[in-house]
Amino acid sequence: MKKETIAVDMDDVLADAYGRIIEMFEKEHGVQLDKEWMKGKPYREAFPGDQLEVAQSYPHQEDFFDHLEVFPDSQRVMGELYERYDVYIVSAAMEYPFSLKPKRDWLAQHFPFIHWKRIVLCGDKSIIKTDYLIDDHAYNLETFSGHPIIYTALHNHNESRFERMNNWNEIANKFL
Amino acid sequence: MKKETIAVDMDDVLADAYGRIIEMFEKEHGVQLDKEWMKGKPYREAFPGDQLEVAQSYPHQEDFFDHLEVFPDSQRVMGELYERYDVYIVSAAMEYPFSLKPKRDWLAQHFPFIHWKRIVLCGDKSIIKTDYLIDDHAYNLETFSGHPIIYTALHNHNESRFERMNNWNEIANKFL
């Protein structure tokens, strides 16, 4: 029987990219950002005025993706999902040309069981056809033709249109 | 009205990758390969024995993709397609980690009008959903759910299951 297919986003689903941006911003400016206040705010509100350009510049740095932390339990759960489903990594990486190889390398390091055939680095995700898409961005889920699942991130707390997963144990409970 | 979507492969559809492999092989070995004899043969037959490993090693070289020639008329026709359709580049690049950024750069150089949102570097293409896929490899077309179009390359001359385009003017005639 054909397995069901799951597309899994990378930044802020497997890799703590937003956390790294906040960490870099706080370090550069000697400040502590109020994460409670940032909840539910898109980037342009969470980083008002000139701050946005600074925050958005970090992922353009060549070594940004080398430093990203793996989300808790994602390696174990992904390993189990990989056995039962056809799992694909689908990451909108094309905006950041320097990220392409580091992203591939990051996956090889932290998720070595994922075959290169199952990795997609793209721009928009509207032409991706899988049964499920787990993603933190509503704009990726809006155009998706399968079952969309939003993965909780600071910026998407107020989004209510999609089934929500708050952590990898919830994903395990749904799929395994 | 929503535009139709066309996914266009890169190697041997836009970029003369096979031509470059042949050129490198001939130069390294001081031979002239018989292209007539190679017609319709998959790589493993076109490069028998130890030759296969040599030929397959070239695309793993970091600068391989910098040197690829653009196929005649592809830039003009792609420019016109881009106006009338939602055109995506879908290239199976993930096997060659060093190719990721060079491929993105090659597209920026030769097809500067293609937005980064429209570029997909992937492994297998089975989860790509567009109305058309233009590709030289039967194994990509076999799993495609839309209308598959095979683009003539040395290795696919005997493939008869798909609508065939021999050059970019034929593509223009079909779509424009």
Q: Where in chain B is the domain with CATH 3.40.50.1000?
A: 5-16+69-175
Q: Name the 3-class secondary structure at A93.
A: coil
Whether A69 shows a pLDDT value over 90: the answer reads yes
State the fold for domain B5-16+69-175: Rossmann fold (3.40.50)
CB hemisphere CA count around A141 (13 angstroms): 22
> Which of B88, B101, B130 has the CB atom closest to A100's CB atom?
B101
Contact across the interface for B97 and A120, Cβ inside 8 Å: no
Report helix, strand or coil for A122. strand
Q: What is the average pLDDT across B129-138?
A: 98
In contact, B155 and B136? CB cutoff 8 Å: yes
Percentage of chain A with pLDDT > 70?
99
C-alpha distances (whole Å) from B112 to each of A138, B79, B85 are 28, 10, 17
- DSSP 8-state code for residue A86: E
Question: Cα dihedral sign for B170, B171, B175, B176?
Answer: negative
Q: Do B129 and A129 touch (CB under 8 A)?
A: yes
- Give residue B62's pLDDT: 85
Q: How confident is the model at residue B2 (pLDDT cuts 50, 70, 90)?
A: confident
- A57 min Cα distance to partner chain B (Å): 17
The answer on pLDDT for A1 being more than 90 is no
pLDDT at residue B32 greater than cutoff 80 = yes
Question: B31 touching A, CB under 8 A?
Answer: no
B169: tokens are: 């003017």
Alpha-carbon gap, residue B114 to B72, rounded angstroms: 18
- CA–CA distance, A44 with B65 (Å, rounded to integer): 37
What strands, in cross-sheet order, belong to the sheet with A147-151? Answer: A163-165, A147-151, A132-135, A5-8, A86-92, A119-122, B119-122, B86-92, B5-8, B132-135, B147-151, B163-165
- pLDDT of residue B1 exceeding 90, the answer is no
Q: Is the pLDDT of residue A2 over 90?
A: no
What does pTM read for this prediction? 0.94
Chain A: nearest CA to B21, how far in angstroms? Answer: 22
Q: Which residue has the higher pLDDT, A150 or A62?
A: A150
pLDDT in tens, A7-57: 999 999 999 999 999 999 999 999 999 999 999 999 999 999 999 999 999
Helices B100-110 + A100-110 axis angle, to 10: 160
pLDDT in tens, B99-112: 999 999 999 999 99
Q: Does B100 touch chain A (CB under 8 A)?
A: yes
- Tens-place pLDDT, residues B39-83: 999 999 999 999 999 999 999 998 999 889 999 999 999 999 999
- Reported as a single tens digit per residue, the pLDDT across A89-148 is 999 999 988 899 999 999 999 999 999 999 999 999 999 999 999 999 999 999 999 999
* Pairwise CA distance, residues A157 & A137, whole Å: 11
Give ranges for CATH 3.40.50.1000 in chain A.
5-16+68-175
Q: Please, which residues have CB within 8 angstroms of residue A160's CB and are 6 or more apart in sequence?
A: none
Q: What does the block give as tokens for A158?
A: 């107020």
Fold of A5-16+68-175: Rossmann fold (3.40.50)
- Predicted confidence at residue A62, as pLDDT, reads 85
Residue in chain A closest to B132 (alpha carbons) equals A127
Q: What is the mean pLDDT of residues B147-175?
A: 97
CA distance A136 to chain B (A): 18
C-beta atoms surrounding A51 within 10 Å: 16
Question: Over the stretch B10-26, which tens digit does the pLDDT of each residue have?
Answer: 999 999 999 999 999 99
Are the beta carbons of A128 and A120 closer than 8 angstroms?
Answer: yes
